[in-house]
Amino acid sequence: MGFKIAVLPGDGIGPEVVKEAVSVLQAVAPGFEYEEALIGGAAYDEVGHPLPAATLALCKRADAILLGAVGGPKWDHVQPVEMRPEVGALLPLRSELNLYANLRPARIFSALKEASPLKEPEIDLIVVRELTGGIYFGKPRERREGGDVAVDTCVYSKAEIRRIAIRGFEIARQRRKSLVSVDKANVLETSRLWREVVAEVAGDFPDVKLEFMLVDNCAMQLVRNPGAFDVILTENMFGDILSDEAAQITGSLGMLPSASLSDNKGLYEPAHGSAPDIAGQGIANPLATILSAAMMLKYSFGMDAEAATVEGAVEKTLADGVRTRDLGGEASTSEMGSAVVSRLYL
């Protein structure tokens, strides 16, 4: 196949879970080429920058990127702030690669329903989050810090909203044809523009049901009736918060994958963080990273059958009672990865 994957293990449990995801990819889709590079705190410690130029160059050359996790308390007080892993690696990587669409699916595997904090939960949704605009990406001249005042500016253009809206409607069309656009249009000008553009885009997708919802109401409805949602389309900060809420409903962050997409490239990573408290112990859950690799197969390479094979193997593994400690079991990281590989073609 000749596809090249940039492998960025990162910090904490990142190297452990990425190793298992690569093993699954090698088993289900042999022929990929892998090249590893430094990112995050590990890169800062070794070369003095959380996103080395060589790593960025590799990511630009690669067909897709598999990322473990970055950051941890060790680097929380690095100065300047731009050298901290989350700020100096993730944000510039998203910007440089134009990864404007973040996809965070949240579903409950039938074998794990008891792990949800909700009674008899039903959830199978995806949050489509705009990732390179909004309050996280205010230009330096629009952002002031110091003294008694701090300012973060939220800016969105019609073009930014239109492209993420199109992506959201396309995904809804492939699922259950229902999309909820989330904003704060009763207060924010950017949200009123958001609502206007989304309504325009909806005209090109008459087969998709569109509903507008304020973000505070959406947060409540996610807890009250998560099964009512199919696709949630929203801006950067709201998406950050709502996708974490949806993840918690499923019962474990260790199960949640994510994809960040441009028009021609994708970065795939688990939704959880670097978990330095359990790093190196071989007890981390690799399933979120393995499921992120399944998203890579689908969204970057159009290998829907192989993606479904990986997801099915995860389902079989859980149904057979294999659990890491976060799920109440005793399986190690490598044992869980091996269990998935052994069930790929059962």
Which one is catalytic: 113, 136, 152, 177? 136
- For residues 4 and 333, what is the distance between their CA atoms, to the nearest angstrom? 25
Active-site annotation holder among 45, 204, 216, 277? 216
Q: Output the DSSP codes for 107-150.
A: E--GGGGGGSSSSS---EEEEEEE-SSGGGG--GGG-B-STT--
Question: What residue type is assigned to position 134 of the chain?
Answer: G
Which residues touch 57 (CB under 8 Å, ≥6 apart)?
A: none
Which entry of 124, 209, 244, 316 is annotated as an active-site residue? 244
**240 a catalytic residue:** yes
Do 130 and 239 have their domain in common? yes
- Among 250, 267, 300, residue at a domain's last position: 250
For the segment 111-127, what is each residue's pLDDT rounded down to a tens digit?
Answer: 887 777 776 668 899 99
Nearest to 129 by CA among 171, 87, 71: 171
| b/e per residue 312-325 (b: at least 16 CB within 10 A) | bbbbbbbeeebbbb
Same domain, 88 and 56: yes
Active site residue 19: no
Catalytic: which of 184, 265, 268, 299? 184
Annotated catalytic residue 204: no
- Whether 207 is catalytic is no
Phi/psi-derived region of residue 220, left when phi > 0, alpha when psi is between -120 and 50, beta in every other case = alpha
Please check whether residues 170 and 130 belong to one and the same domain.
Answer: yes
Which element (helix H / strand E) includes 306? helix 304-319
pLDDT above 90 for 276: yes
Residue 238 belongs to a domain with what CATH number? 3.40.718.10
In a domain, 108, yes or no: no
Active-site residue, 244 included: yes
Residues 300/303/304/309 CA torsion (nearest 10 deg): -120
Q: Does residue 141 sit in the same domain as residue 220?
A: yes
pLDDT, tens digit, 9 for 90 and up, residues 53-85: 999 999 999 999 999 999 999 999 999 989 999
Helix (H, G, I), strand (E, B) or coil at 234: strand
Whole-number Å distance between alpha carbons of 210 and 92:
33
98 and 80 share one domain: yes
- Among candidate residues 100, 240, 299, 326, the one labeled active-site is 240
Q: What's the structural domain count of the chain?
A: 2
> What tens digit of pLDDT does each residue of 2-19 get?
899 999 999 999 999 999
